[in-house]
Amino acid sequence: VNIMKDHPASRDDMKYGTGEFYAWMNTQKGTFPSRNWQQGYFQKAYDNLKEGELSKIDPYYWAPKYVTGYHPCPGCTKPCGHIFEVKEGKYAGTRLDGLEYEIMYSLGGNLEIDDPEAVAYLSLLSDLYGLDAISAGVTISWAMEAIEKGLLKGYLRFGDPDGVARALKEMAYREGELGKLLADGVRAAYTRLGKGKEFALEVKGLEPPAYDIRGIKGMALAEAVSVRGACHLTAGVYGTELVGKWWKFENVDRFSAKGKGFEVKMHEDFMSVYDSLGICKFSRHMFFIDGLVDILNAYTEFDFSVSELLVAGERIYNVERAFNVREGFTRKDDYLP
C-alpha cells in the first residue's frame, strides 16, 4: 500500500489522472496520434498559444479548473479517477469520471478537438450510448479522412464536436447512412464502403489506442500479434519502450526492432498473470514481476518463483492463442494498419 501511495506516478495521477503524461507523449516523444494518425503530434492543441500557456487538452490545464473530486476504484490507494464537471457554457451539466488519457486521444487529438469541455461531453455520450470510446472515436476519424479524400459523403469534419456528437448517436441507434456504415467499427465500415482500407486503423478488427507505433517498435509488434487485436494491455510494452527500461530490461531503443520479440513475449506472460489475478495494471511499474510474486505468495501462502509465475502466464496466453487458431485465425491476421 505504501509503495503505491508514495510512488511519484501515484502522486501525479491523483492530481491529473491517467492523462498526466500527455504533454510528454505529445511534445517530447511524438507518439500522440492526431488526425486519424496522419500525425504523431497534436499540433492544433498548441496553435495560437502564448509563451508559457498550456494546451487546453493538457490535464495540467483542465484539472484545476474542472476536477471537483476523486472517483477511485473501491479501496484503491492510487485514485487516478476524478470527477470532471462543467458548470457553465454550452456543455454545462456535463459530469463524468474523467478525462482519461485514451479519451483525450480518441475523442480529442485524433479528431482534432482540443476543447476539454467538448471532449468530456463526447465521452459522456459514449458512456450513455454504450459505445467503446476508443473504437468509436477511431472509426469516426477514419470517416473524417474518407470524407476529406472524397471517398465518402457526410457531415463529419476534423475539429467539429457537434458532428461527432451526432455521429455517436447515429452509430448507437444505427440511424442514417453514416450511422449504419460506422456502427460496427472501422473494418466493417471500409469493407461495406469498398474503399478506405489503406488509412483504416485496426488489427483483427480492433481499433488502436493512443500510442503511435511508428515511434514505438515494440508496441507495433505487440499490437500486431495480440490475441485481441490492437490492444495496449495485452502486452503493455509502451512504458518499457518510452522510458527505456523496466524490470530486467535496460537501454531499450524504441526505434529499433532488435530484441523486441523477447520483450513482447515476457510482457504477454506477465500481463496474463495480471489479468488472472484481477490486479490493476497501473501497479506493474511499481511492483515489477518480483513484487507481484511477493504479494501473491503472501496472500495465498504459496511459494511461487518468478519463473513459475511467468510459465503460468505463458500457459494462459497459449490457450488464448490456441482459441484464436481454432476459430480460424492465422499468421496473416498478425498485421499492422
Could you tell me the pLDDT band of residue 262, with boundaries at 50, 70 and 90?
very high
Is 90 exceeded by the pLDDT of residue 313? yes
Which pLDDT band, with edges at 50, 70 and 90, does 183 fall under? very high
Whether the CB-CB separation of 256 and 234 falls below 8 Å is answered with no
Residue 282: what pLDDT? Answer: 83
Closest by Cα among 55, 31, 10 to 285: 10
pTM: 0.93
Q: Quick one: pLDDT at residue 40?
A: 95
CB atoms within 10 A of CB 147: 18
Q: For residues 276 and 272, what is the distance between their CA atoms, to the nearest angstrom?
A: 6
DSSP state of 131: -
Q: Which DSSP state fits 27?
A: I
DSSP string computed for 249-275: B-S--TT--TTHHHHHHHHHHHHHHHH
DSSP state of 17: G
Q: Domain locations in the chain?
A: 2-199, 213-333
Cα–Cα distance, 100 to 18 (Å, whole number): 6
What value does the mean pLDDT take over residues 135-154?
A: 98
Class of domain 2-199: mainly alpha
Closest CA to 161 of 116, 94, 196: 116
- For 213-333, CATH number out of 1.10.10.10, 3.30.420.10, 1.10.599.10, 3.90.870.30 equals 1.10.599.10
Whether the Cβ atoms of residue 156 and residue 168 lie closer than 8 Å to each other? no
Give me 326's grid cell.
481454432
CA pseudo-torsion sign 192, 198, 201, 205: positive
pLDDT tens string 220-254:
999 999 999 999 999 989 999 999 988 888 999 99
Chain-centroid distance of CA 15 in Å reads 20
- pLDDT > 90? residue 2: no
The pLDDT of 302-319, averaged and rounded, is: 95
pLDDT confidence of 75, banded at 50, 70, 90? confident
Could you read off the pLDDT of 109-136 as tens digits, one per residue?
999 999 999 999 999 999 999 999 999 9
Higher pLDDT, 91 or 20: 91
pLDDT of residue 315: 98
Cell of 164: 461527432
d(CA 213, CA 209): 10
Q: Which three cell numbers stand for residue 5?
A: 501511495
| pLDDT for residue 334 | 96
pLDDT-derived band of residue 4, with 50, 70 and 90 as boundaries? confident
* CA quadruple 9, 14, 16, 19: dihedral sign: positive
Task: Dig out the grid coordinates for 89 from the structure.
Answer: 457554457
